[in-house]
Copies of this chain bind each other. A is one copy, B any other.
Amino acid sequence: MDASKRIALDVMGGDNAPDCNLDGALAAVRAGVPAERLLLVGDEKTIRAGLESRGASVGEAPGSFAILHAPDVIGMEEKPGVALRAKPMSSISVATGAVKQGAAGAHVSMGNTGAVVGAATVGLKTLEGVRRPGIAVTIEFTGRPVTVLDMGANVVPKPEHLLQYGHMGAVFTRDVLKSESPRVGLLNIGEEESKGTDLLREAHALLSGSDLDFVGNVESGDLFKGGCDVVVTDGFTGNVVLKLMEGFAGFMMKLVMDQLKAHGAQWGPEALASIHKQVDYSEYGGALLLGVNGIVVIGHGRSDPTAVSNAIDLAARALDADVNGHIVVGLAGR
């Protein structure tokens, strides 16, 4: 196995660790990711016992999982900076270290988002030419996926950062979502280029002057209309959007279920599953931290095994397509 194609999975991260991550790893293997491509990071005894109870084998042989021991765990509620300093042998830090040292090309974690981002930013450094990493989340409401970045890594960006997010999002769209000629929009509160803040007016000018297929300003309601493939925003607004969609989706599902119950309707579970699938971006496997020297996928803390498997698959596709190589080439000279 080419170590640079390996995926370090943080087995200890997330609300349902370690079981959910181990089940997710096995699901990923069933979905076509070779077991030897995975490096399971966390408490060795726990992982070994978990694999054995699932009838999976440990080791470097084909069809077996490799384990990288990490004795500590950073909790979901711990303050990232403090926790990273206090626990250099946490699964997050050890997995990041594996990528830094070339033992793996990707880190996948359902753990503390701030800690994963912090470890990656400090440990892996940015790719050549990248000024600031950004978190990209792909959502799909219209039959056509939209990738929004930044979703929270860079709360007060500069205009040049937003321009680079446009480039990185376009590379991701081409390489991983396999959509040629991605259209890039700038999240704003009106279509006119004069709208919004100084940041947005300057970013609008930079994006307009770039070789991206820039469609101009888009509004948050346009996320449901499919007018572009990449939406660029600052990390504060992106995070607000992300959490609002999560909250609204959960609220709406509950509302529909309550009404179903109240009216004794005849819906089968497949109708609900279909709605849920359409509002649930975890189908896309989580967020990608773009711009660091390694592939980093951050899943939701309450991911189920399917979401973990999707996150592993996302990392595999990003590695196979050489997203990071293309980002470096794409930004060279810009």
| Interface presence of A215 (CB below 8 A) | no
CA distance A274 to B243 in the complex (A): 25
CB atoms of A259 and B247 under 8 A apart = no
Chain B interface: which of A14-22, A248-256, A313-321? A248-256
Contacting residues of chain A (150-165) with chain B, CB-CB under 8 angstroms: 152, 155-156
Instruction: Give A246's nearest chain B residue, CB to CB.
Output: B221
* Residue of B192, B249, B266 touching A266 (CB-CB under 8 A): B266
> How long is the Cα–Cα vector from A73 to B217 in the complex, in angstroms?
27
* Copy total for this chain: 2
**A220 contacts which of B198, B221, B247, B265 (Cβ < 8 Å)?**
B247
- Of the candidates A192, A250, A263, A279, the one having the most CB atoms from chain B within 10 angstroms of its own CB is A263
Q: What's the tally of chain A residues with a CB closer than 8 Å to chain B?
A: 50
Given the interface contacts A252-B252, A255-B279, does A189 sit within 8 Å of B274 by beta carbon? no
User: Does A197 lie at the interface of the complex (its beta carbon under 8 Å from any beta carbon of B)?
Assistant: yes
**Does residue A333 face the partner (Cβ distance < 8 Å to B)?**
no
Residues of B within 8 A of A187 (CB): 240
Residues of A participating in the B interface, judged by any CB pair closer than 8 Å: 79, 141, 152, 155-156, 187, 189, 192, 196-198, 219-225, 235-237, 239-241, 243-252, 255-256, 259, 262-268, 270-271, 274-275, 278-279
A-B contact pairs, 25 of them (CB 8 A): A155-B196, A155-B197, A189-B240, A196-B236, A219-B243, A220-B243, A222-B247, A224-B247, A224-B248, A225-B247, A236-B237, A240-B240, A241-B244, A244-B244, A244-B245, A248-B248, A255-B278, A255-B279, A256-B256, A259-B267, A259-B274, A259-B275, A263-B267, A265-B266, A265-B267
